[in-house]
Structures are given as C-alpha cells and as structure tokens.
C-alpha cells in the first residue's frame, strides 16, 4: 500500500483483500461493502480492490461516479428546495446526513452527522465558514475506523428527499485546480489506523505476522464543502454540493511524539455564473486606458508649462509618474467600489442575489490593492517634489472575517473620518482658529506686496497683494483707520478685478512675460539697473494682465 512517506506491505490487505474479492464476486453484499471500504482506504488507487467498482452500471456497490457525467453531476438541479438567508426561516440551514459503515462492511447508521469538530452540522445557507479544531495523534490512533457516505436531505412541499453527494479525495499538498478532471467517489473516512501495520514474513515465508507497531497513520487533514448557488430566476436553490477531502499522514516517530493535529473545515458558497470578477477586470481595463490617456494629457501639460522645446526623456519620465499615480487611483477606486457594492447588497439580503467572493477572488482583490498601493508608494512625483444581517453580535465563532467586508468597512470609516476632518477644518478651524494661507495673503495686502510663485518655468501662482489704500509706509493709527474702512466696506475691495475679493490665482505665463521676468531677476542685484527695474515693472504688470 502506497503512502507519501513509504510503501507498506499492509498486513490488513494481505489478510482481507483476497477474501473480500472472492466473496464479492459471489454477490455477498457485505463483502462488497468491505471491498469498497478497502478501496477507499487506498484512496482509490489500488487496482485489485477497486476494479469491481469502476464500471458504474455493473458495480455491486456504488462507489465511483462516471467520469463522463462529472459536468452533469455538478450541475444537477434535482435539489428543489429554495433556501433563505434569513436565520429565522426553517430553510436557512443545509441538512446533511451521513451513512456510516464499519470497516468490515456492516451498515451502522444513517442520520445527522456526529463527527468531530461539529463537521457538517448547522451549515447556514450563504455563510462561508472556516474552522480549525485540534486533536492528538494518540486520539487518532485509538479512533474507530468508519467509512462515511454523505447525503443532503431537502424538502419539496410536504415531501422529504435524500440526495447523494459526490466526494473528491486528495492527499495534502495536492492542488485541485480543475474539479471537472477529478474522480468523484461516494465514500471517505476520518482516520485509517489499520492498513499501516506491516506484514512481517515468518518461517519459510508461508505466513505473515502483524507488525507490533503502526508504521503509518493516515487521517483527514481538511474537509471543504463547496456549494454552488443557482442564479437568476432560481435564486435560493442550489446545485448538488460536493465534498473535497484531503489526507495527511503520521509516521511511527510522529505517533511516538504525540503532536497536536489540526483539522481544517471549510464551507464555501459560490454564486453560479457570477460576473463580479469579470466586471471588476473589465472596469479596471477600461479605466486604465482612460487613465493612460489622461496621463498623456498631463505630460503634455507639463511640457507646455516648461517649454522644453523638443520632447525629452524628462517628459517620458513624467508620463510614467503620472500614469503610475492615476492607474493606482483607478485600481483603488474600482476595488473600493466593488467592496462597497458587495457590502451594501450582501448585508441584509434575504434572497441570494449576491454572495461574498471565494478565496481566489479575494486574493485577486488583494493583489489589485497591492499593485495600487505599490504604484502610490512608488509614485515618483511625490518623491521628486518633496454575515447577511448587519447585526453580528451573535456571530458564529467559525465564521471567518471576510476581507471584502473588512475593506468596505475600513473604506466607510476612512471616508467618514476624512469628510468630518474636512468639514471641521473648513467650517470651524480655518474660520475661527487659524487660516495660514489667508493670513499670508492679508500680510501681502497690508505690506502692499504682490507675489509670484513659479512651480514650473511657465506655470505657477500669483498673490495679488496691492493695497487698496495705495501705500503701506504709514504710521499705526493710519493703518488701523484704513483697516477699519475695509471692515466697514468704505473703500475698494482687494481683488485683482474691481468689485471682487479674489486675490489668489493660478497663472500660465507667455514667452514674452517670462523673458521680461527673467531679465528682471538677472538684474535685481545690480544697483545700476535699479532704474530699469522700476521703469519696467508697470510694463511687466500690463503684460501679465493682458
């Protein structure tokens, strides 16, 4: 028997396999169940134990699904019950049932699952679970080996039906990328502490003895229940759920050390044919194209503001800078919009029109956000310039925190704090405590000084600080009297345009103005050119106003 750590000449298979095959061929029902259990213990890899069950129509025990029917099985719509997201409704939970068989094929019971960690119990419709429970190697070693067949009980009117559920079995570490390529089976087990005993040859190799110690123990490492929810007019109905079981192993040394064993249990609901991922990708693609066009416009604007002549590497660099910043904003905006949309429509709904994304979709959103923040962090411009119901008080402990909902809530909190801060600053702080920019503008007006601030060669800002009183060199009583006249509206306004109060402007300079400005700056420290400066200042202002 093949294990991950080693191949074991199993004493149990040597002593039971041939007998079970012989009796099963003679139509012994219990022997066929026993043989199917042996096949399940080998993870459906032993050709001798599984050969009688491969051909499904002729199999004495239903163990394998026909591989050609995988698509129709996973899209089976025989489950006619319409489930509800409202916890108070009777149809808010999925009623799983387990049929138990002993290792020798004897039917033990069928009913609600009585498995460790409350597996397959109280599965609420539409709520993803992620739970971990602990056990020890000794408990697994002493556990009873039982084979399990899962079913789902559903109602159609006053009648109750039972639907068999398929199982996918894999070893821990194996990925299940394409479920349609997997072999669907009917049985799984929690622990195998029987087949790992080696068969030791005795005298003349005629008989074999059972090894005193267990070499390998195989146990269920994780159980994932995947439920596809129907969309459109059949909302509330589900396709046949299926179970994904992964196994791991403990060696003799592991059993001797008796470590803690973690068993992972997940329930994942997916909305069939959900186009959320597709819409997010299309939106990001379209807006990224628009962002690149806008980045080109900004790069062209930078080129025009500086009049560098021919296109240069600097213009291309600024295009990349603008593109990274804007694309980062676009991705952030789309992800925030998607998360808020999921949050708003998921919370409080009673009919499953929208469900939370699965792990793959959440990782995709996290990747988008990582790229967006990377673009914002490495934005060279800044470096160069310097559950469905809203009440979760009684949530289940196994319900995991969803990244999408967390991100939406964080966005709400951030936007609320930002808006409150902006409102307080605008309505209270700048009006009653301090407005540094306005104080500087007032100082310029009192001092009768206008200020040019050029952020680029041909682009910048202008503060119109010319005093409405015509002069600033005066004594304090006259200054106080002038300010009193302004307060009583007995003189002209400070604005550049008569009758207005606007004193700050964004400016885009012409070549002639910039030339004259540069000439003044070159000669500002030359005493002999002082007359030139004063004579040409009025000309400079006239050119600027034009």
pLDDT digits (tens, 9 = 90+) for 132-189: 889 999 999 999 999 999 999 998 888 899 999 999 998 766 665 566 678 899 999 9
Instruction: Tell me what the mean pLDDT of segment 43-55 comes to.
Output: 84
Residue 416: half-sphere exposure toward Cβ, Cα within 13 Å = 6
Looking up tokens 């009297």 gives 481
pLDDT score for 526: 67
* Lowest-confidence pick of 160-174, 192-206, 373-387: 373-387
Instruction: Tell me what the mean pLDDT of segment 328-354 comes to.
Output: 81
In whole angstroms, what is the distance from residue 488 CA to residue 286 CA? 56
Is the per-residue pLDDT at 55 higher than 90? Answer: no
Alpha-carbon torsion angle 119, 122, 125, 130, nearest 10: -40
Is the per-residue pLDDT at 392 higher than 50? Answer: no
H-type alpha helices, 307-358: 313-346
Count of CB atoms within 10 A of residue 293's CB?
11
pLDDT score for 385: 42
Tokens at 161, concatenated = 């039906």
pLDDT score for 98: 94
pLDDT score for 221: 92
Classified as helix, coil or strand, 262 is strand
| Apex 127 CA angle, 124 and 129, nearest 5 | 95
In whole angstroms, what is the distance from residue 153 CA to residue 121 CA? 13
Is the per-residue pLDDT at 335 higher than 60? Answer: yes
pLDDT score for 68: 84
**Integer distance in angstroms from the first to the last C-alpha of the chain?**
93
In whole angstroms, what is the distance from residue 218 CA to residue 216 CA? 7
pLDDT score for 311: 64
Q: Which phi and psi angles does 98 have, rounded to 5°?
A: -125, 130
* Lowest-confidence pick of 130-139, 241-250, 370-379: 370-379
Alpha-carbon torsion angle 290, 293, 298, 304, nearest 10: -150
Count of CB atoms within 10 A of residue 324's CB?
21
Give the closest residue to 304 by CA, choosing from 508, 543, 518: 508
382: confidence class by pLDDT, cuts 50, 70, 90 = very low
Is the per-residue pLDDT at 111 higher than 70? Answer: yes
> How do the domains of the chain map onto residue ranges?
69-271, 275-386, 436-545
pLDDT score for 400: 59
pLDDT digits (tens, 9 = 90+) for 16-37: 999 999 999 888 999 999 999 9
| Apex 511 CA angle, 520 and 292, nearest 5 | 125
């Amino acid at each position: 028997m093949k294990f991950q750590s080693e191949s074991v000449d199993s004493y149990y298979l040597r002593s039971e396999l041939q007998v079970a095959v012989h009796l099963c061929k003679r139509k012994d029902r219990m022997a066929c169940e026993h043989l199917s259990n042996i096949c399940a213990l080998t993870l459906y890899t032993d050709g001798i134990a599984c050969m009688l069950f491969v051909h499904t129509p002729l199999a004495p025990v239903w163990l394998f699904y026909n591989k050609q029917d995988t698509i129709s099985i996973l899209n089976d719509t025989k489950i006619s019950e319409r489930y509800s997201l409202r916890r108070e409704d009777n149809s808010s939970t999925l009623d799983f049932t387990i049929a138990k068989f002993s290792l020798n094929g004897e039917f033990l019971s069928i009913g609600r699952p009585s498995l460790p960690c409350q597996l397959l119990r109280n599965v609420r419709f539409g709520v993803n679970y992620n739970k971990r429970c602990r056990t020890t190697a000794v408990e697994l070693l002493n556990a009873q080996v039982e084979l399990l067949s899962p079913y789902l009980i559903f109602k159609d009117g006053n009648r109750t039906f039972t639907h068999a559920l398929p199982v996918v079995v894999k070893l821990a570490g194996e990925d299940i990328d394409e479920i349609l390529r997997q072999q669907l089976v009917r049985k799984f087990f929690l622990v195998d502490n029987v087949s790992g005993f080696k068969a030791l040859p005795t005298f003349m190799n005629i008989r074999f003895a059972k090894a005193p110690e267990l070499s390998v123990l195989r146990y269920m490492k994780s159980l994932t229940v995947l439920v596809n929810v129907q969309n459109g007019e059949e909302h509330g109905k589900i396709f046949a759920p299926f179970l994904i079981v992964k196994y791991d192993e403990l060696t003799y040394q592991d059993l001797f050390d008796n470590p803690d064993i973690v068993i992972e249990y997940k329930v994942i609901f997916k909305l069939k044919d959900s186009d959320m991922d597709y819409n997010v990708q299309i939106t990001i693609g379209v807006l990224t194209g628009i962002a690149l066009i806008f980045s080109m416009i900004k790069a062209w604007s930078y080129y025009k503001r500086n009049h560098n002549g021919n296109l240069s590497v600097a213009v291309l660099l600024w295009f990349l800078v603008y593109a990274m910043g804007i694309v980062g904003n676009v991705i952030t905006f789309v992800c925030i919009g998607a998360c808020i949309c999921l949050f708003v429509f998921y919370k409080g709904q009673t009919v499953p029109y929208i469900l939370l994304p699965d792990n793959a979709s959440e990782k995709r959103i996290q990747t988008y956000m990582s790229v967006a923040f990377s673009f914002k962090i490495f934005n060279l411009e800044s470096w160069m310039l310097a559950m469905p119901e809203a009440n979760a008080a009684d949530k289940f402990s196994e319900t995991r925190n969803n990244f999408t909902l967390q991100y939406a809530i964080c966005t709400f909190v951030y936007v609320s704090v930002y808006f409150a801060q902006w409102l307080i600053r605008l309505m209270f702080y700048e009006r009653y405590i301090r407005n540094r920019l306005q104080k500087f503008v007032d100082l310029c007006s009192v001092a009768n000084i206008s200020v040019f601030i050029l952020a680029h060669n041909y682009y910048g800002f202008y503060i119109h600080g010319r005093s409405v009183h015509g002069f600033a060199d005066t004594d304090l009583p006259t200054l106080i009297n002038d300010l009193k006249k302004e307060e009583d509206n007995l003189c002209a306004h400070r604005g550049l345009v008569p009758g207005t109060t606007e004193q700050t402007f964004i400016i885009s300079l012409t070549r002639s103005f910039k030339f004259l400005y540069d000439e003044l700056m070159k000669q500002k420290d030359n005493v002999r050119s002082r007359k030139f400066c004063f004579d040409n200042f009025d000309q400079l202002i006239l050119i600027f106003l034009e």
